[in-house]
Structure 1
Amino acid sequence: MNAHSHRLGERPGPAAQIGGLIFAMILVDGDTRIVEANQAAEIMLGKSAKRMIGSYLSEVLKMMDPRVIERMADNEAALVARDVGMMASGITRRVNLTLSPLGSHPGWRVVTISETGRDDVGNEDQADATSLGAPSILAHEIKNPLAAIRGAGQLAARKLRPEDRPLARMITDEVDRIARLIDRMQQLGSTMAGTVGPCNLHEAIRSAIATVGAAGNDGVDIREEFDPSLPPVLANQDALEQVLINLISNARDAAAGSEEPCVTVKTRFVSGFAFSAIRLGRAIKLPIEVTVTDNGPGIDEALGDHVFEPFVTSKKSGQGLGLALVRKLVRDMAGRISHERDAKAGLTHFRIHLQIAK
């Protein structure tokens, strides 16, 4: 038996098992000081294990919920917390957190952290497919009678008196609106992802800005803050431009009522940002960040945690499919999108994180 075959049959030890985990794992002692941290923790928190060891847990995990902070300080407390806020590497994210006391070593605990929705991403995608697949199939069946209704409306317009023709045009306009809505539902229900490859991020942004600008800017200033040194990203060019068009258009609409309406599109390199993709079996590094910021009034707080869900919208005439489609397209590129409201600065941020093209 050669050495390679022997290694394949060898049972991994505890260190290899912990090192291979795709969620962050930290060991803390009775003083709540960090003793060990696996590679996934280094990636998620943007710090090396060497820098974390010896620090208090609360210094490294800056949690937003005071109840979580209180449990972290109690070295005998166990905790399972889902969808809680955490600040790491200057970025706020939603995570699932567990604190597990070690019965054999009083005061010692194992801490695990995973991105919200990332520990069960397969189930999340399956839920999306289930909830959107049925409407997608129904949409296909609706399109045929819609075409017949539109044709009848056009025919009626030719035969009606001039004063009655606006009613026929209203029929065709409403049919067209419903058809556009159905097209978006079908996009959401699709399980087919576009091919990804190297893309020039700044070209995609400028193309999106030009498209949005062609529809009128409503007096909104759209600014660029680019890092010109960024390498190509791994993305689908058409999908990336569609994502940016949606976000910039939404930001422009949101800012339109402000005293000095402004939208800023910023790019930068963010060292250490990653998420654990169980579906792909590894932690994916997402160091390229695009932020679309507006100085509008922000999204209703009641909708804040649901902005990417289908049929959720704060617009009076919206269908709530734009951001749901954005999330799907970003996910198809193995990227991540998040929403954040900075109430103090009066700014709303939508952040996309993407891979570097190799």
Structure 2
Amino acid sequence: MDTGLLLNHLITAVLVINDDLELLYTNVATEQLLGVSNNKLLEQSLPDHYQTLGIEAHLLQAAIKDNQGLTVNTVTLVTLDGQQHTVDLTLTPIEHENAQALLELRQVDQQRRIHQQLTQDAQQQAAQYLVRNLAHEIKNPLGGLRGAAQLLSRELKEPELQEFTDLIIEQADRLRNLVDRLLGPQKPTQHSLYNIHEVIHKVLQLVYLTLPDNVTLKQDYDPSIPDIQMDPDQLQQAVLNIVQNAVQALDNAGGTIRIQTRTQHQVTIGTKRHKLVLMLSVIDNGPGINPELMDTLFYPMVTSREQGSGLGLSIAHNFARLHGGRIECDSSPGRTAFTITLPINS
């Protein structure tokens, strides 16, 4: 059997390097991890393909020259596009006339991400259960309050007094709207084949209407992504909520928002592994999110803005879940990325 074919089916990045850290071989998992095509990988040395790696290049070179193995766990890898990964690194010498070694980079942030997602989903479902119960309790007296205000309005003769009943009705309707948004859909709706870039296009049409002059939108699409089963209205709302959050984060100082679409192979969502997924990312270069909010970011009513409702990200999370997907956030000063991952049925 073809050895190269077997290596390309591994989820571990496998590289063959020499003591100058030149790449002699890479598998498909290496391309996906570093975000660089195989041809470009082989044109340059290993350090040219990442921003930082939690082990100095000279230590790798020394180990290869001395024909010594090396293992380092939970190493931080930051790729050229700014994505941060945690990997276990293993260097194994190869018996050859030239100093060469087999380098394995195994992502362990995937396992950590799965655990965090399962925990987050369980916690959010509990929070949504409490919110739904509270919402139902609010709707009943709210309907009675609105009805009483309508009856009172009919009995009042003075127009200036009717202004107060109109205000009561208006605020009751506003609260009912909020409650309906809190409840939201809890079951999958009818899905049909739709193109994700058409969804994004509709979102951008809405965003451009109120986009501040100091905020720039950039589009970075993979045009080969096939149509997927979706409710386009739900995904449009999810993406719109995320983009609007990014615009608001940049509103004071300005900046750039990049909307990116990519595919990725062999990705686990929850407990299910998918051969191919869509990854839609909204990336801004704003100040980042308060670390204290990260664990509860997708909970209902959680917000850092005085005028925010705290529902946008919760709704986006729910819509991603109803599509069998997930939403994640990676944030640090200067880079915040929200990524919606959705399965692609091949």
Q: CA deviation at 1:322?
A: 2.1
Q: CA deviation at 1:127?
A: 2.4
Contact conserved, 2:214 with 2:251, CA < 8 A, in 1? no
> 1:37 corresponds to which residue?
26
Which of 176, 200, 204 aligns to 1:205? It is 200
Query: 1: CA distance between counterparts of 2:223 and 2:337?
Result: 20
Contact conserved, 2:277 with 2:341, CA < 8 A, in 1? no
Q: CA deviation at 1:300?
A: 4.0
Q: CA deviation at 1:205?
A: 3.5
Q: CA deviation at 1:278?
A: 3.3
Which of 213, 236, 239 aligns to 2:234? It is 239
Corresponding residue SS for 2:210: coil
Q: CA deviation at 1:150?
A: 0.2
Which of 7, 10, 15 aligns to 1:26? It is 15
Residue identity matched to 1:114? Q
> 1:299 corresponds to which residue?
288
* Cα distance, 1:74–1:138 mapped onto 2, change above 3 Å: farther
Corresponding residue SS for 1:277: strand
> 2:183 corresponds to which residue?
183
> Aligned pairs, how many?
324
Query: 2: CA distance between counterparts of 1:23 and 1:333?
Result: 25
* Cα distance, 1:152–1:210 mapped onto 2, change above 3 Å: same
| Residue identity (%) | 14
Contact conserved, 1:34 with 1:57, CA < 8 A, in 2? yes
Contact conserved, 2:70 with 2:92, CA < 8 A, in 1? no
Task: State the structure with bigger RCO (CA 8 A, min sep 6), 1 or 2.
Answer: 1
TM-score by length of 1: 0.64
> 1:284 corresponds to which residue?
276
Corresponding residue SS for 1:278: strand
Does 247-256 or 91-100 show the bigger shift? 247-256
Contact conserved, 2:276 with 2:344, CA < 8 A, in 1? no
Are 2:90 and 1:94 equivalent residues in the alignment? no
> 1:130 corresponds to which residue?
122
Which of 64, 68, 87 aligns to 2:52? It is 64
More strand by share: 2
Q: CA deviation at 1:277?
A: 0.4
Query: 1: CA distance between counterparts of 2:24 and 2:40?
Result: 11
Deviation string for 1:54-100 (max 9, x for gaps)?
A: 9543233x143666768756635422226x45124xx2212121112
Q: Which runs of no fewer than 5 residues in structure 2 stay unpaired?
A: 64-68
Query: 2: CA distance between counterparts of 1:282 and 1:320?
Result: 31
Query: 1: CA distance between counterparts of 2:82 and 2:337?
Result: 11
Q: CA deviation at 1:309?
A: 4.0
Contact conserved, 1:96 with 1:115, CA < 8 A, in 2? yes
> 2:66 corresponds to which residue?
none
Corresponding residue SS for 2:304: coil
Query: 2: CA distance between counterparts of 1:144 and 1:218?
Result: 36
Residue identity matched to 2:307? S
TM-score by length of 2: 0.66
